[in-house]
Amino acid sequence: MSDAIETDRPFDAEVGRLLDLVVHSLYSDREIFLRELVANAADAIDRRRFLALSDESLALPAEAGIRIRTDHSARTLTISDDGIGMSEEDLASHLGTIARSGTRAFTETLADAKPEERPSLIGQFGVGFYSAFMVADRVEVISRRAGSDAAYCWSSDGRGGYRITPATRDAAGTDITLHIKSDATEFLDAHRLDTIIRKWADHVSVPISIERDGKFVAANAGAALWRKAKADVTEADYEDFYRHLGHMFDKPWATIHWRAEGAVDFAALLFIPGASPFQATAEDRDSHVRLHVRRMFITDRAQLLPSWLRFIEGVVDTEDLPLNVSREMLQATPVLARIRKALINRVITELKSRAKDEDSYASFISQWGPVLKEGIYDDVDHRTDIAGLARFRSTRNAELTSLDAYVARMAEGQSAIYYLTGEDHERLAASPLLEGMRAKGFEVLLLADPIDHFWPERLGSYQDKKLLHVAKATDLFEAATVDPAVTDFAAALKAALGESVSEVRCSARLTDSPAALAADAEGPDLAMQRMMRRAGRPVFAGPPALEINPAHSLILALAQRHQAGEDLADWAALLLDLARIGDGEPPADAARFTRFVAAHVAADVAADVAAQVGGA
């Protein structure tokens, strides 16, 4: 027995089980059977067109296309094409052998074809056809190979086996008839079929039509605009496609159409929406740029753009992406990463050039600026580029400024880029923290978007200039000569205010206001703290410092009264409240504040009146 046969034996397969796996486990969505059958039909037409280049007798009929019709009483759905067709052997070999792809075998023969003639075919795995059995309990394929008169019918219930019998067909091509399962009646509805075609096969280059009330109606948009040369596309074509794609009614602010060749080949058509009513929301931070592989829609969830570019609509189409059998999930592949990188760089280049037209760019910024700035925080690789593309309000005037322009204007002796964050520009412009900056002639960026609380620290610096929140620029404003009475008074204020302030310090920052609040240099600034509190988040920050203006008449007067031994607890509370109001906060105790102010104003007015009466 030692001389047992040592040759490899062929694997055996439970064909019925294998088919069952393909039909029931491969695809997550039953409707894709139609995509698969249409893809096969489109491949067949492309193959015939290619072969006709060298054999005129195979030429496609003038109206070559894919026709879909349903028969409710017979419960059948038929997909017909004018493609290359299948001979008896083809039927047995291509439809009778799971995982044998006649299309891929054909593609492999094309290596020597001229690139401009070489069709780009979809089929490669040899399993798509069987998806028909997800919705059909019997499938009949009647096919006639182009160049032959003989037609055959292949039929199967997708379980036991298949049978091939002679048939007739008027012309070359293939009819695939599905006997629809009782639980798949939806696929007999022309509307439903239309929706599926528009979703998955809108840009198959072959015309697809669906029969409705006896007439065939076009179901796909056809030619993939993004695959055309730019010169062959008009502005109107782009706008139509933009509206079609994003369900938009406006015009795109920018249209970016190009074909990348090199490390990875792809065609892309991206739109930056104009004054669109649709805002990129915080809830959905994903990019929905659509990924097509050889014109077939694959997914709009491939995150082709980072979330800071999620407002961009468009399509990317590549031949280079390895798909898995179900064409659903993408394998982790460096190709996607390369495409993403190329897309980001192209968009950045476009924005840089569009930024030169200031008016138009301002409209882009008002629409998408806040989303764009998320990238300064999120995107390590492009942070500096994005910061350069962002535009800001500042204390200079109402116009927007870039960081580059800001740096170019920096005053003598100014070493940092100063900014102030808060809820809105008007309130920011009125902040007492700006008084000293104005006095020095230092411009300050006024940042009023929620994201502005986050990115400046991440960015750190721009053009080697540190970004600094004005509240933290305390060293600029150390008060040089302070009346000792004021210094004493400051200490008394701290004692009176206790834990509600971290310190009371004399500062040369203020010119008009008696007092202002400044956050701790290490922690989040006060506007940020407010925002976190409003969002119900814990705030890890100590109390703010109270800065007082040692030259202000109120401070000087109070310092004298303090020296005279007066108890100034109420005045301490008032100063803190004034500072809080200056920062956009309500007084700590509104009732006490109102009573105190009203009493003093009343006393003032009474004194005025008395003086006038006395003078008269």
Ligand X SMILES: Nc1ncnc2c1ncn2[C@@H]1O[C@H](COP(=O)(O)OP(=O)(O)OP(=O)(O)O)[C@@H](O)[C@H]1O
Q: Where are the alpha helices (DSSP H) in 310-354?
A: 334-354
Among 101, 255, 287, 394, binds ligand X (CB under 6 A): 101
The residue (of 41 and 459) whose beta carbon lies closer to ligand X is: 41
Smallest distance, ligand X to C-beta of residue 178, A: 13
Smallest distance, Mg ion to C-beta of residue 40, A: 4
Among 65, 83, 119, 128, binds Mg ion (CB under 5 A): 128
The backbone torsions φ and ψ at residue 408, rounded to the nearest 5 degrees and listed phi first, read -60, -25
Strand partners, 419: 445, 469
Other beta carbons within 10 Å of 466 = 13
Q: Token pair for residue 21?
A: 């796996």
Nearest to 420 by CA among 559, 583, 554: 583
Range in contact with ligand X (rule: CB under 6 A) among 24-32, 96-104, 183-191, 270-278? 96-104
Among 27, 33, 125, 462, binds ligand X (CB under 6 A): 125
Contacts of 23 (CB under 8 A, 6+ apart): 130, 131, 133, 134, 158
The residue (of 65 and 314) whose beta carbon lies closer to Mg ion is: 65
Among 19, 26, 34, 44, binds ligand X (CB under 6 A): 44
Dihedral, 477, 481, 485, 491 alpha carbons, nearest 10: 40
The residue (of 42 and 347) whose beta carbon lies closer to Mg ion is: 42
* 21 to 50: interface string for Mg ion, x by CB under 5 A: -------------------x----------
Contacts of 281 (CB under 8 A, 6+ apart): none
102 binds Mg ion (CB under 5 A): no
The residue (of 131 and 155) whose beta carbon lies closer to Mg ion is: 131
Q: How many helical (H) and strand (E) elements, i.e. helices and strands, does the chain have? A: 18, 21
The residue (of 255 and 326) whose beta carbon lies closer to Mg ion is: 326
41 binds ligand X (CB under 6 A): yes
140 binds ligand X (CB under 6 A): no
Q: Is 155 helix (H, G, I), strand (E, B) or coil?
A: strand
Task: Restricting to residues 224-283, name those near ligand X by CB under 6 A.
Answer: none
Smallest distance, ligand X to C-beta of residue 84, A: 6
326 binds ligand X (CB under 6 A): no
Other beta carbons within 10 Å of 510 = 27
Q: Please give the full DSSP string across 440-502, using - where no structure is assigned.
A: HT--EEEE-SGGGGTHHHHH-EETTEEEEEGGG-GGGGB-SS--HHHHHHHHHHHHHHGGG-S
369 binds Mg ion (CB under 5 A): no
Cβ(555)–Cβ(548) below 8 Å: yes
83 binds Mg ion (CB under 5 A): no
127 binds ligand X (CB under 6 A): yes
Among 129, 266, 418, 593, binds ligand X (CB under 6 A): 129
- Burial class from Cβ neighbours inside 10 Å (0-12, 13-18, 19+) for residue 445 reads buried
In the list Mg ion, ligand X, none, the entry touching 191 (Cβ below 5 to 8 angstroms by class) is none
177 binds ligand X (CB under 6 A): no
126 binds Mg ion (CB under 5 A): no
Positive/negative CA dihedral, 230, 231, 232, 238 = positive
Smallest distance, Mg ion to C-beta of residue 336, A: 23
Number of chain positions touching Mg ion (CB under 5 A): 3
103 binds ligand X (CB under 6 A): yes
123 binds Mg ion (CB under 5 A): yes
In the list ligand X, Mg ion, none, the entry touching 252 (Cβ below 5 to 8 angstroms by class) is none
Range in contact with ligand X (rule: CB under 6 A) among 122-130, 273-281, 301-309, 460-468? 122-130
126 binds ligand X (CB under 6 A): yes
Cβ(79)–Cβ(66) below 8 Å: yes
Pairing of strands 173-180, 252-260: unpaired
Cβ(343)–Cβ(273) below 8 Å: no
Smallest distance, ligand X to C-beta of residue 173, A: 8
Cβ(417)–Cβ(406) below 8 Å: yes
Pairing of strands 290-293, 162-167: unpaired
Other beta carbons within 10 Å of 567 = 11
The residue (of 123 and 432) whose beta carbon lies closer to Mg ion is: 123
40 binds ligand X (CB under 6 A): yes
Amino acid at 108: E
Range in contact with ligand X (rule: CB under 6 A) among 34-42, 50-58, 243-251, 272-280? 34-42
The residue (of 78 and 384) whose beta carbon lies closer to Mg ion is: 78
The residue (of 81 and 140) whose beta carbon lies closer to ligand X is: 81
Q: Is 68 helix (H, G, I), strand (E, B) or coil?
A: strand
* 59 to 88: interface string for ligand X, x by CB under 6 A: ----------------------x-xxxx--
Smallest distance, ligand X to C-beta of residue 177, A: 12
Smallest distance, ligand X to C-beta of residue 141, A: 8
Other beta carbons within 10 Å of 396 = 14
Tell me which residues touch ligand X (CB under 6 A).
36, 40-41, 44, 81, 83-86, 94-95, 101-104, 123-129, 174
Binding interface with Mg ion (CB under 5 A): 40, 123, 128
